[in-house]
Structure 1
Amino acid sequence: MKPEHLPLLNSVSAPAVHPDGSMAVISVTRPDFGADSYVGQLWTVPLDTQKPPRRITRGFRDISPAFSPDGMVLAFLRSTGPSAKLQLYVVEAGGGEPQPLTDRLLGVESFAWSPDSGRIVFTSREPAHARSGRSAGSGPESEDARLITTFQYRLNGVGYTKDKPAQLFVVDVPAPGGEPTVLARDSSQDGRGTGAPRDQDASDRAADYSDLFPPAQRLTSLAADHKSAGFSSDGAAVFFVTAPPENDGDLSTGIYRIPAGGGDALRVTPSDDALREIQHVRQSKDGKWLFFIARGLGDSGTDFVARNSILYCMPSEGGEAVALTDPEMMDVACPGERIELRGPDGALVLNNAQGTVELLMLSATGDHALLVHGERVVTGAAWAGGSMLVTLSDPSTTGDLAVLDDGQLRLLTDFSAALRTETNMVVSQDVTFQSADGYPVHGWILMPAGKGPHPVLLTIHGGPFAQYTTAFFEEAQVYAEAGYAVLMCNPRGSAGYGREHGLSIKGRMGTVDLQDVLAFLDGALGRFRVLDADRLGIMGGSYGGYLTAWAISQDHRFKAAIVERGFLDPVSFEGSADIGWYFGTEYMGGSPSEMAAQSPMGHVDNVQTPTLVIHSEDDLRCPIEQGQRYFTALKRRGVETALLVFPGEDHELSRSGTPRHRRQRFEHILRWWSTFLPTSANPAEAAAG
């Protein structure tokens, strides 16, 4: 794979299964260089393989499909252009013209149907009055000053949050087959009166076309983000998650219930009342139980390190919360934007498991089943009408849809066919090597074409409580295509191997984690003779940037390094990052001496390795000052270095940055490696060209 092949990466959403179980709808999105954005539409996929998948919408970007419980209407989110916010749309399940239900200034983030199929609850950021009237083209200088009094006031990818909290709204859905709303001839300022929103600033659209949209009732008003909203099984209430009003010095959140017609929110509290960060909540179909996914926070309320996310179950009106998954060995997540249900009292969850992601079904009564496992990453799942549909990725696909038949997966789509035929896809090898103390270090190697000897890139993932997986990974594919053997492993500190594995680096970052990645490198060099031990590079982003910077201060065998969006100075990180007020303290300890002992900036004098520093200007997770200060320190000490800065991007540049910037990033990275580790596929002359 080459950088120009990015548009071949089709991402597939979690499936929406029709209530009769006969078909599913998914969204398929991809990077587009022409639009410099992500585009995609909805596809219907019949379970009958005699009927091929079919594109059913033609929007710029249509995502997050969901059938109404009666199967008559399909709801989804649509963006009408590169800069347009996502809005809520509905279309009759049998086909027709999609109808917009919202025109929110800051868009719609998520939504859920009512059991009677007549209403939708959605989440949207509500700007403070002083910030809601910014005209198109006006900049921050036109805004009022912000007075900050809390720890939690910014979020990477969002910016300031206190003056635009995510609130909940309920909107009535027009009956299928109803007469469409149109504007009077003189109600449009531009005289068109087309009955459709114009492609202009959202505030102007709302002023011109407000009569087109059914009125939405605002349910919540707390100055905090509200998420995971869903109707109760009887439709009378909405359950959601938010931080308690008094919360600031900890990360805890609670489950709340509010009447669907409006009223006061009531907190639904487990009887143990432990400090937890609750991520998702959903009531069982029989109405008796609340399922919620949460992780513990210790007595401090901020002790998040290596806390596995756990699926809990409790009575709907409150009571004892029972863990349905093992808090020590299992780390679960939703198979989509919310907990999916199966049967009257069952729930579906995903589990991170040693470089894979499994699908499990658990019930309030104790039943459980491992539905999908093996060398793949399940990304979504839903059950309806007796059909279990699963979206997944594996070494040969970036995303496809399958049905689970008699315990076996049957693929229904092949959205990576062009990727396989138009690129040289490299199959990763699963390997395990022993660390210096005998601990097993699991990972993968991607070997480039040719006889070798091959230069080696040791790559390190972020997190640190995250994992590399067996799924197709475009980063590794691009480097392998350029002639590099790519090593990637899950050292101690990673997720997916149990809590003890993740806790190993608490208070001692840069110890056993560094030991593990270097042992993985040495193990690969010892086993695979085609690897060139004299031509080594090292790279990583976020925590991977941290460990890369730490490694080159301790080990000088690498010809060059790339430190991307790195966590490089825990001292300045505390006051500048969105998570800075607790992250460094929990991982490294609170004293300056403890932080300095584990800080790459504290050991930058030891670095000799030529280093490319990559950072994004709008990164709030690892603010750009981390990269700028590290680059300056290297340059002042005479180390060959360069700073690559991406305007308008945040911490997610490599995953969801604009397609043009993602391509440029790859091109700069390959140019850097061509300078210090040239290959026949990535020759040194490329640096001059």
Structure 2
Amino acid sequence: MKPSDLNLLHSVSVPTIHPDGTRAVVSATRPDFAADAYVGQLWSVPLGGGTPRRITQGFADTQPRFSPDGEVLGFLRSVPGGKPQLYAVPAAGGEPVRLTDSKMGVSWFRFSPDSAQLVFSSRVPAHGRYGTVDGVGPGAEDPRLISSYKYRANGAGYTADKRVQVFLLDLPALDAEPWIAPVGRAKEASGQAGDSADGGIGGDFPEARQLTHADADATSPVFSADGKHVLFTAALHSGADEDLVSDIYALALSGTEPERLTNTAVESETLLGVSEPTPSADGQWLYFLAQDLSGTGKDFVARNTALYVLPAGSDGPARRLTDPEDTDLAEGGIVPAGESEVLVFNRTRGSVELLQIDAGGERRVLASGPLVVQGAAAAAGAVVVSYADGTTMGEAALLEAGGLRPLTDFSAQLRKDTRVAPALEEIHPSRDGYPVHGWVVLPEGPGPHPVLLNIHGGPFAQFDCAYFDEAQAYAAAGYAVVQCNPRGSAGYGQAHGRVIKEAMGTRDLDDVLAFLEGVLAAHPELDGARLGVMGGSYGGYLSAWTTANDHRFTAAIVERGFLDPLSFTGSADIGWFFGPEYTGTNTDQVLAQSPMARVGDVRTPTLVIHSEEDLRCPVDQAQRYYTALKQHGVPAELLLFPGENHELSRAGTPWHRRQRFEHVLRWWEQWLKPGNA
């Protein structure tokens, strides 16, 4: 693919299945250059055969969900420049009705078991901030007095003055007569100064009752199986600002104070970071996901996510159903299936497989192989998944006895207009013989091809087997792309991931270089004299560390990098815990893992890419590293993107993503010159 083909990349949402099992609904979203935004609509997908059809015409319609009685389809809709709001439409078809007017938008919603109510999440701005007072813009707001570690988040900005809260609303009659804005004499008589083009039902929106008011984010709210409580995730405990512990709380709809259901032991050697409260369909069990943070509540490094269960209505103790040493359920959440079973998503060796687990811990693998299962829904005996593989970024499929039967083909145009280069799976030994797993993506032609070593972020993340726009764009431009999951990565067990705790740039560096050497030895069509190294976030860290320790590379790209652990601690949104847990607290030990401390050893021409609003790896990490390269005589450029944060390459505006690709290819053309050796 070329940078101009970004608009062919469709992402598919978690599906929802109508309770009668006849059809599913997904949202399909793509970058759009004309709007410079992500656009998409909802699609109805028949399960018994037939052609999917678009059923909404919004600018950006996402997160579809059928009500339990099958009468209503809820979803989120954004208009250009607006925040997502909650809409509902009769499942049989009709005009969507807007239900919310949240100033900062709706991020999540769920129906009650009787389909009469909805619970949703929305940020609530403090009075005087974020336009809540006319004439008081961002530069005129009162100063912020900070007394906590947790006050900012990448992509959200300041968070203590706009907490995520839980709201409850009654679902109105969707067939009520629509409100008509008065005009002329009627408007004058009513005293209305203006009209509303989207004023809900009766000219107003249903009244939503705020259920939570704490100075903490309350996320992922769901109804209990009996509909009498709302369950949500939050960190409301004493000392919550100094650890990563979170809990599930139950709030009675008739009460005022939430009840803590997890981490309730007075003395415990194991503190959990909890998420995804999910009642079983039969109402007997409450499932949730959690990471073991040890006794400190902060030891998050390479901690796999496990599935836990509580008897409904109980405050513990919870039982762990999966072994975090070999199973990692960090992606996809939990999906009720059957009476007491749930579906979960296991991240393993560059794929994500679908598992079914019951309250006793019995498990079945429902879908596995070279694919990434991104979401699932279950109803009326049917299971539909959204997934990606080597030829698509997102499709929907029905689970059958023989495997997955694709139901959509949103990537048809992508395959028609571009060459999808296959990713060859390989394993090569590291310096100590440890097997390193990864892929090589080859361009067309006999070679010799210049080679790009691409390093993923995280570090506790993984390259996977799904279509990857980065690798495809570089292969189309004539480069072979080498990418692997070194020690420190996810998907290979906790021991694999924890090797680099307080030892970054050691085994992980050995692994990526050894894998590169193994690929070069196995592929004589690759040019070992024309090598580039690149990566973002932790990948930016390891790229910069590589060029400080190894001078074989012709050029490098260091993007949104974790480059100076010392200054990171005071400037990054996660700096108060990330650096101490990964690089330690002893200054000499930290400096021994710091690319900034070793920048004087770099000889490799380097393009430094960063976003100005990046709070995960703040922009000064890039600015200081770039300046130091220049001071040491290294050819260097600094590419800064305004208005973007740490997610530029994945979720930045379409034009910025395209421009980023164009600059990356320009840099590699300048130094590696494919086809002109």
Match of 1:214?
206
The 1:193/1:492 distance shift into structure 2, 3 A limit, reads: closer
2: distance between equivalents of 1:148 and 1:265?
27
Match of 2:64?
65
2: distance between equivalents of 1:440 and 1:182?
68
C-alpha distance after superposition, 1:318-338 (max 9, x if no partner): 222111111101110353xx5
* 1:134 CA drift (Å): 4.5
1: distance between equivalents of 2:605 and 2:41?
44
1:427 aligns with 2:385: no
> Aligned Cα RMSD in Å?
1.6
Match of 1:561?
556
* 1:584 CA drift (Å): 0.8
* Residue of 250, 255, 269 corresponding to 2:248: 255
2: distance between equivalents of 1:529 and 1:296?
46
C-alpha distance after superposition, 1:43-66 (max 9, x if no partner): 0000122x2000000000000000
* 1:192 CA drift (Å): 4.3
C-alpha distance after superposition, 1:117-154 (max 9, x if no partner): 01110000001112154468964212111000011111
The 1:427/1:137 distance shift into structure 2, 3 A limit, reads: farther
1: distance between equivalents of 2:532 and 2:135?
44
C-alpha distance after superposition, 1:452-502 (max 9, x if no partner): 000000000000000000000000000000000000000000000000000
* Residue of 239, 263, 282 corresponding to 2:231: 239
2: distance between equivalents of 1:426 and 1:138?
52
Say whether the 8 Å CA contact 2:44–2:52 is kept in structure 1.
Answer: yes
Which residue identity does 2:129 align to in structure 1?
A: R
Say whether the 8 Å CA contact 1:334–1:348 is kept in structure 2.
Answer: no
Match of 2:288?
292
Match of 1:330?
327
* SS of residue in 2 equivalent to 1:42: strand
Say whether the 8 Å CA contact 1:239–1:256 is kept in structure 2.
Answer: yes
* 1:678 CA drift (Å): 0.7
* Residue of 96, 100, 112 corresponding to 1:102: 100
Match of 1:24?
24
The 1:212/1:183 distance shift into structure 2, 3 A limit, reads: farther
Match of 2:589?
594
* SS of residue in 2 equivalent to 1:574: helix
Match of 1:267?
260
**Within-5 A mapping of 1:387-398:** 387-398=382-393
2: distance between equivalents of 1:290 and 1:434?
43
1:485 aligns with 2:480: yes
* 1:627 CA drift (Å): 0.4
2: distance between equivalents of 1:32 and 1:183?
33
The 1:352/1:345 distance shift into structure 2, 3 A limit, reads: same
* Residue of 265, 274, 279 corresponding to 1:278: 274
* SS of residue in 1 equivalent to 2:242: coil
Say whether the 8 Å CA contact 2:260–2:315 is kept in structure 1.
Answer: no
2: distance between equivalents of 1:166 and 1:248?
16
Say whether the 8 Å CA contact 1:270–1:314 is kept in structure 2.
Answer: no
The 1:371/1:149 distance shift into structure 2, 3 A limit, reads: same
* SS of residue in 2 equivalent to 1:495: coil
Which residue identity does 1:142 align to in structure 2?
A: A
2: distance between equivalents of 1:480 and 1:314?
49
* SS of residue in 1 equivalent to 2:576: coil
Say whether the 8 Å CA contact 2:331–2:346 is kept in structure 1.
Answer: no
The 1:176/1:644 distance shift into structure 2, 3 A limit, reads: same
**Within-5 A mapping of 1:154-553:** 154-185=152-183, 186=187, 191-192=194-195, 194=197, 196=199, 211-246=203-238, 247-261=240-254, 263-269=256-262, 272=265, 274-316=270-312, 317-333=314-330, 335=332, 338-553=333-548
Which residue identity does 1:263 align to in structure 2?
A: T
Which residue identity does 2:176 align to in structure 1?
A: G
Unpaired runs of 5+ residues, structure 1, are: 198-208, 685-689
* SS of residue in 2 equivalent to 1:402: strand
Say whether the 8 Å CA contact 1:219–1:262 is kept in structure 2.
Answer: no
Q: Give the share of equivalent positions with the same residue, in percent.
A: 55
2: distance between equivalents of 1:121 and 1:602?
50
* SS of residue in 2 equivalent to 1:212: coil
1: distance between equivalents of 2:440 and 2:134?
49
1: distance between equivalents of 2:33 and 2:455?
28
* SS of residue in 1 equivalent to 2:650: helix
* 1:296 CA drift (Å): 1.1
Unpaired runs of 5+ residues, structure 2, are: none
* 1:507 CA drift (Å): 1.2
Say whether the 8 Å CA contact 2:181–2:195 is kept in structure 1.
Answer: no
Match of 1:677?
672
**Within-5 A mapping of 1:20-169:** 20-49=20-49, 51-81=50-80, 83-134=81-132, 139-169=137-167
Say whether the 8 Å CA contact 1:182–1:212 is kept in structure 2.
Answer: no
Say whether the 8 Å CA contact 1:182–1:194 is kept in structure 2.
Answer: no
* SS of residue in 2 equivalent to 1:129: coil
The 1:339/1:184 distance shift into structure 2, 3 A limit, reads: farther
Say whether the 8 Å CA contact 1:271–1:321 is kept in structure 2.
Answer: no
* 1:261 CA drift (Å): 4.5
C-alpha distance after superposition, 1:231-286 (max 9, x if no partner): 00011110001002421110101110002355211111356553111121111222
Say whether the 8 Å CA contact 1:371–1:407 is kept in structure 2.
Answer: no
C-alpha distance after superposition, 1:315-373 (max 9, x if no partner): 222222111111101110353xx521012211111010100000001111333211000
What is the TM-score normalised by the length of structure 1?
0.95
2: distance between equivalents of 1:507 and 1:269?
30
Say whether the 8 Å CA contact 1:567–1:573 is kept in structure 2.
Answer: yes
1:660 aligns with 2:659: no
The 1:171/1:621 distance shift into structure 2, 3 A limit, reads: same
* SS of residue in 2 equivalent to 1:660: helix
* 1:314 CA drift (Å): 1.3
Which residue identity does 2:292 align to in structure 1?
A: G
The 1:628/1:596 distance shift into structure 2, 3 A limit, reads: same
* 1:195 CA drift (Å): 5.1
Is 536-545 or 315-324 further displaced after alignment? 315-324
2: distance between equivalents of 1:91 and 1:136?
34
Say whether the 8 Å CA contact 1:72–1:176 is kept in structure 2.
Answer: no
The 1:417/1:135 distance shift into structure 2, 3 A limit, reads: farther
1: distance between equivalents of 2:16 and 2:370?
24
Is 552-561 or 344-353 further displaced after alignment? 344-353
Match of 2:608?
613
The 1:210/1:468 distance shift into structure 2, 3 A limit, reads: farther
1: distance between equivalents of 2:374 and 2:399?
14
